[in-house]
Amino acid sequence: MMAQNGIEMLEAYGAGDVSGLIVHPINYRLTTPEVAYQLGDSEPGAVFFEAQFDDVLAPIHGQFPGIRRFIRIGGDGGDTPDWAVAFEDFIAGGAPTRPDMRPAQDDTAYLFYSSGSTGRPKGVRLGQAAQWNTALIVGYEFNMNTRDIGQVVMPLFHIGGRFFQLAHFMAGATVHMPRRFDAAAAAQTIERERITLTHLAPTMIRSILDLPDIDQRDLSSLRTIGYGAAAMPLALLRRALKRFGPILMQRYGSTEAAVVSYLDLHHHVVDGAPEDVARLSSAGKPGPMSEIRVERADGSECDVGETGLIMVRNPKLIMQGYWRNDAATSAVLRDGWYEMGDVGYLDAAGFLYIIDRKTEMIISGGENIYPREVEEAILHHPGVADAAVIGVPDDQWGESVLAFVVARDGESIDEAALIEFCGEHIASYKKPRRVEFRDRLPRNSAGKIDKVSLRKPFWEGRDRQV
C-alpha cells in the first residue's frame, strides 16, 4: 500500500487481517528507486496506491511480473492509467463472500520496512498474534474505552500510527484521522471534537506548542498525550508539561520489538525529589510482556548504572525476523533477546535511560561521545529551536563533534558563545568543535532527524565511516 491516511488504507489493512494476506505499507514520501527496491524485495501480488503517486509508479510498474494488479485509489475514474484498475471498480468486481482462508497466530501479518538509517531498509515481519497483543497493550496503557475520542495523526505506514489506530478500534473508541499532520488543524480538531487521546512525535509537539494562538486554545479535553518515535529533548518535555499539564506518557520501542517501556503519567515529575525529577530523561520501566537487560560487549549483564547495549525479551510481541534476511535476523536476535541498537543503562529502580544509538557514537581522541547528550546541552539554550550532532572526520582526533542548529525565529546566536554555553552542561571534550546554522533539519517520515544525509557530505568516499 502506498497512500496517505484514509478509509481505503484501513480497508486494505482489514482485508489482510481477516484473510491472512501480508500487508506491506510503503512510505509515500519515497522516491521511485526507493519504492522499486522495496517492491523488488517484498515481491507483492498486488499494489494499492493513490492517484497522486502515478508518477512514482509509472516508470517501474512493468518491472515486477509477480504483481498481478495495481489498484488506484482516487482520481476521477476516467483517468486511471492502462496499467492499473480503479479501486471502486476492483471492489465492485469482488466476491460478496468472505474468502475461505483464515490467518493462523504465527502467520506474518505485516511487513514494515525499517528506515534504512544504517544501510538498505529491511523488511520487518510482524506476526498475527504479535500485532493483536501490541494493540491490546497500547489500549491498556492508554486506558482506552468506548467514551474516548482519539486523534491519529501519525501515518499508517508507520508502526506507531497503525497500532495506535488499531488499539482504538479494539476498544470501541472514536477515531479522527486526518490525511496528514498539520499543527494548526490538529489543535483545532482537539478543541472542536473534544479529543481525549493522541500520540505525537516530539517534532509534532514542538509544532503545536509553537502555534501563535496555542494559549488561546481550549485543549482541556485531552487526558493523555503519548509521545515517542524519536528522542524528546528535556527542555521540550518541560515546556509541554507546562502547557498541557501532567498528561504526557512516553512509549519507547521499535518496529522490531513493539513497545518496550513506558514512562507513565505519574512519572513525569517536574518538581519533587531529585531522583524523581531525574527520571524525566528516562524511557521509563518495562511495559507488559517485556523484559529489559543491559549487556556488555561480551554478553554479560551490566551492573546498575553501567552503560551497555539495551536488550529486550518479549516473545509475544517481537518480530518474526527480517524478510528473507537470516543473517540480519541472527545479528540482532540471540537466545530470545533482541538487540535494540541503543546504548543505555538501568537505574536501581529499574528505569531505563537511553544514551544514544549504538551506531551514532562519536569516538574523539579515544573518548566516547554520545550525540544525544550534546544535543540536550545545546537545546537548553533559550535561542535554540532544534539541533543535531554528528561526528565528522578529524585528522588529529579521528572524529570531532559538529552541531547543526536551528535558531528560534528572531534569535541570533553566536557560534563561540553557544559552544561555551554547552560547557556549562557537559564536559569540555564533548563540546562541539563547530556549529553550522540551518533554517531547518532534514527529517524522515517518522519525525526523526535524518543523520544519514547530514553525515554523507563529510564521510562520502572514505573507506571508514567512523
Q: What average pLDDT does this structure show over 350-360?
A: 85
Residue 430 lies in a domain: yes
Residue 31 lies in a domain: yes
Residue 435 lies in a domain: yes
**Residue 309 Cα distances to 284, 312, 318, 320, 364, angstroms:** 16, 10, 17, 21, 20
Residue 298 lies in a domain: no
Question: What's the pLDDT tens digit per position in 101-138?
Answer: 889 999 999 999 986 544 578 999 999 999 999 999 99
Q: What is the DSSP letter of 418?
A: H
Residue 167 lies in a domain: no
Residue 440 lies in a domain: yes
Q: At which of 87, 103, 119 does a domain end?
A: 103
* 214 backbone dihedrals φ, ψ, rounded to 5°: -60, -35
CATH of the domain at 88: 3.40.50.980
What is the total count of domains within the chain? 2
**Residue 139 Cα distances to 21, 177, 210, angstroms:** 25, 17, 29
CATH of the domain at 388: 3.30.300.30
- Quick check: 464 pLDDT over 70? no
pTM greater than 0.85: no
Question: What's the pLDDT tens digit per position in 177-234?
Answer: 999 999 999 999 999 999 999 999 888 898 999 999 999 999 999 999 999 877 787 8
Contact indicator for 317, 114 with CB cutoff of 8 Å: no
Q: Which residues span the domain enclosing 58?
A: 7-103
* Of the candidate ranges 9-18, 228-237, 276-285, 299-308, the one whose mean pLDDT is the lowest: 228-237
Q: At which of 55, 80, 103 does a domain end?
A: 103
Residue 16 lies in a domain: yes
Q: At which of 85, 103, 121 does a domain end?
A: 103
What's the rounded Cα separation, in Å, for the pair 204 and 200? 6
Residue 90 lies in a domain: yes
Question: What's the pLDDT tens digit per position in 434-458?
Answer: 999 999 999 876 678 888 899 889 9
